[in-house]
Amino acid sequence: MPPRLALDNISKSYPTVRANDGVSLAVQPGEIHAVLGENGAGKSTLMKIIYGVVRPDSGTVQWDGRPVQISSPAEARALGLGMVFQHFSLFDTLTVAENIALGLSGDTDIHALEQRIADTVDQYGLELEPGRHVHTLSVGERQRVEIVRALLGGPRLLILDEPTSVLTPQAVRRLFDILRQLADEGCSILYISHKLDEIRSLCHTCTVMRAGRVTGQCDPRLETEAGLSRLMIGTELPTIARTPREAGEVVLQVRGLNLPRAHPFATPLRDVSFELRAGEILGIAGVSGNGQQELMTALSGEDVRAAADSVRIDGEAAGQRTAAWRRGRGLAFVPEERLGRGAVPELSLARNILLSHQDGATVWRGFVREGAVRALAAGIIQRFRVKAPGPQALAGSLSGGNLQKYIVGREVVRRPRLLLVAQPTWGVDVGAAAQIRGELLALRDAGCAILLISEELDELFEISDRLVVIAKGRISPSVPIGEAQREQIGQWMSGLWPGAEAGTDVETADLEAVHA
């Protein structure tokens, strides 16, 4: 049989970069095929070409042995391609069925569609209610909506971009069962991920890309993680060593933090309490949408509705203090959202420095010291190996992973006393992730208190000193990293820790009140 999809000598250039350079790739029927590469290797551009979002400058695409030109996602879906993007595109106020109907013809019968969804859900064991509103779904359930939307088109090739970045370990195992079932039925799968253990356990073939070119292909089941990382980045991964150390004085104290919803779809915080000491990393695990963003805004000073003494920095009441006041006390912040909060896309990398660096070195009596700002930006680009033309490059022109490295570097070089960081290695390749984690450990060893929110359990177990879990706006008891177990943390991510059951009825009643 001919390959389900065959790319031959695909090239695509932009003004400052050659994203794809003569890429050739073949995916067989029923094959789970991984595409592995560093940030900026050209993976996303290649997937957009396959799905019809971007047109290549040269090269050919064959589908079932026939040359095709895919000019739009609609044409891709007509051929039998489906794609589940890393970022969901769902409307919170619509039901599951209504969201799926948006991608179908205007005369779609919603009741017939609900039955089709129910049949698909039963077939693959996805556990999803067609009439449920999206804002009531967990992140894992929202991903099921995207998968069901792709499956309803009867895809013969399914593209998945970082599909497990927001899932619990239990949900990841369930997703893999579904993907293997699809492959057994003849569906081809293109799987994009930076998680080498997932690629080794799931995929039949792995194509490695570097700097826009294919540098190799292998059977990942026969490779070690170290071998895959060498293929991807060309060198050995740096070794990360977390040495035990005695934590210092309390830097951040949170006591009885309660915060009502800022909007109908927010998660209220309820009786959140913990301490963070100098020279330690406190990791917070949890499925996205359980109060992480609300907690970060309350701690960073973006949301000042909390009681004044519910948040204390170095013993001073800070709950109603501004973000500028907290930064003046040595706080640094890496938000989860890169563009819009972490960086201004229309500004240069140098100008984005000023979002957090406004001391005498960069600003003097209201005037920006342009040379110092450019030099600082250039230093971050070099130190964190950010792929960018230079300090004057627009933040919006960088790939997601490279922008993440720049934002983390911008905060790290401030040498803060207290660092709040959310998803520091989200969408970042293994080499860059190892470097970022090493930088965080170096800060911790220098006496910085670090609050780390991450959905990567491997990351939390690798660099945290203690772990807590956030679920439904509540915080679990603290567990020393040496005593934490993955299955236990996975269960706690569903809100099932000792004593947590008592708060479930309160949350349910609050949710019902919002619906009413």
Q: Mean pLDDT throughout 184-213? A: 91
Dihedral angle, C-alpha 332, 334, 337, 339, nearest 10 °: 80
Selected residue with higher pLDDT from 450 and 340: 450
Interval 415-438 mean pLDDT: 87
Which CATH number does the domain housing residue 61 bear?
3.40.50.300
pLDDT of residue 349: 96
CA–CA distance, 135 with 196 (Å, rounded to integer): 32
Residue 482 has pLDDT above 50, yes or no: yes
Asked whether the beta carbons of 451 and 443 are under 8 A apart, the reply is no
Q: For residue 258, give both structure tokens.
A: 């309660």
Residue 17 has pLDDT above 90, yes or no: no
Q: Is residue 380's pLDDT more than 50? A: yes
Identify the residue with better confidence: 264 or 412: 412
451 belongs to a structural domain: yes
Q: Rounded mean pLDDT of the chain?
A: 87
| Band (142; pLDDT cuts 50, 70, 90) | confident
Distance CA 53, CA 196 (A): 27
What are the beta bridge partners of residue 26? 6
Q: What are phi and psi of 52, to 5 degrees?
A: 85, 10
Domain that holds residue 434: 246-330+416-516
* Percentage with pLDDT > 90 across the chain: 54
Chain-centre distance of CA 377, in angstroms?
Answer: 24
Residues forming a β-bridge with 254 = 274, 311
DSSP characters over 317-347:
E-TT--HHHHHHTTEEEE-S-TBTTTB-TTS
**Residue 446 burial (CB count, 10 A):** 11
Please state which of the ranges 154-163, 292-301, 467-476 shows the lowest mean pLDDT.
154-163
Rounded to an integer, the average pLDDT of 352-357 is 92
240 domain-assigned: no
Q: Are residues 215 and 344 in the same domain?
A: no
Number of domains forming the structure of the chain: 3
Show the tokens assigned to 426.
């989200």
- On whether residue 315 sits in a domain, the answer given is yes
Token pair listed for 15: 């003004």
Identity of the amino acid at 212? G
Return the pLDDT at 514. Answer: 29
- 290 and 265, same structural domain? yes
Rounded to an integer, the average pLDDT of 305-316 is 96
What is the average per-residue pLDDT within 235-239?
A: 71
Same domain for 432 and 307: yes
Instruction: Say whether pLDDT at 509 is over 70.
Output: no
The reported pLDDT for the residue numbered 501 is: 55
CB 23 within 8 A of CB 37: no
Q: What is the DSSP letter of 343?
A: B
pLDDT at 293: 87
The reply to whether 368 and 480 lie within a common domain is: no
Extract the tokens encoding 150. Answer: 């792709």
Query: So what's the pLDDT on residue 87?
Result: 66
DSSP 339: B
Indicate if 218 and 134 belong to the same structural domain: yes
pLDDT at 503: 44
